[in-house]
Amino acid sequence: MRNAETVTFGGSALDRAAHLRGETAQLAALQQSGTVLPVWRGKPLLQAGERLGWVRIGSPVLAHAGETVFLGLDDGEARFAADISGWSPEAGAEAVEQGFFDPSAQHHPALPEDHSFLELRGVMTALSPRDAELAATAKAVLHWHRSHGFCATCGAASESAMAGWQRSCPACGAHHFPRTDPVVIMLITRGNRVLVGRNANWPEGMFSLLAGFIEPGETLEAAVRREVLEEAGVTVGAVRYLASQPWPFPASLMFGCAGEALSEEIRIDPAELEDACWITREEMVLAVAGRHPRIKPARRGAIAHFLIANWLADRLD
């Protein structure tokens, strides 16, 4: 396995068993013997905050279950995910917090005290590679179901099909599939320095690599050059692919690329960035260690942190 595949949400080699998605009777039998991951408003169920919390069919937690998705076979065990967003926590329960990150935890009365629904961003580095892939898949596909309930062709209500991996329209017969948005994220260097920027909505002091959506008809390389020029006014020459990461917030696939800057002057687009700067390796070491006076690094588990850490260690491959 390449080092690039050790990024969070990647590299667990889950058997998605796509050949079973249309086998209704076999899936029903597997569901009786398998386990289900409840997901509440995008938050997966966690046990002790470090592993996924699975329940069996018939659990009272699933009383409000909406869409169900077959995730695959986890070392032979059938794994499913169910959206239980219809459940309402008891009065007085910790409320969801709005913003960049929701640190609140919700507890279901039918579950042990160490089980709670948690924001995946906050626990992703504590999960095993397999649990991380299962959680990311569940979150992304269930979000797609919640946000794509109507046919994009004729507007009629669509229905879940193929074990949750498709939506079909009973009115016009159109088939729709889970959406993934391609995004480039760029490690742009010039000598001993790397280009970082920050969004006004991020936590104070947090800087990360520049990123942006790939447009129709555009290559990865072209997207890297366009985004860096638009956001920071820096011209980029040679570009190479490094690693990818599924990013279910809500449904992106991040393509990590390295680019060589041909210019140095920064001219930020205030509609995209609040600030941007060049930072040396030595300064970045301090930032990653939490000792830089001004700059805080990207969150651990994000591909930006992964790329920066491997750049510092000189092991990008």
Q: What is the pLDDT of residue 121?
A: 94
Is the predicted pLDDT of residue 75 greater than 60, yes or no? yes
Residue corresponding to tokens 């999960």: 127
Query: Could you tell me what percent of the chain has a pLDDT over 90?
Result: 90
Q: How many CA atoms lie within 13 A of 155 on its CB side?
A: 0
Its pTM stands at 0.93
Is the predicted pLDDT of residue 166 greater than 80, yes or no? yes
Is the predicted pLDDT of residue 97 greater than 90, yes or no? no
Q: What is the pLDDT of residue 96?
A: 65
Rounded-to-integer distance, Cα 153 and Cα 155, Å? 6
Q: What is the pLDDT of residue 90?
A: 73
Residue corresponding to tokens 């997207």: 223
Rounded-to-integer distance, Cα 4 and Cα 242, Å? 7
pLDDT single digits (tens) 185-242? 999 999 999 999 999 999 999 999 999 999 999 999 999 999 999 999 999 999 999 9
Cis peptide before 38 (omega within 30 of 0): no
The architecture in CATH of the region 181-312 reads Alpha-Beta Complex (3.90)
pLDDT single digits (tens) 116-157? 999 999 999 999 999 999 999 999 999 999 999 999 999 999
Contact assessment for residue 303 and residue 213, using Cβ atoms and an 8 Å cutoff: no
What's the CA dihedral at 127, 133, 135, 138 to 10 degrees?
A: 180
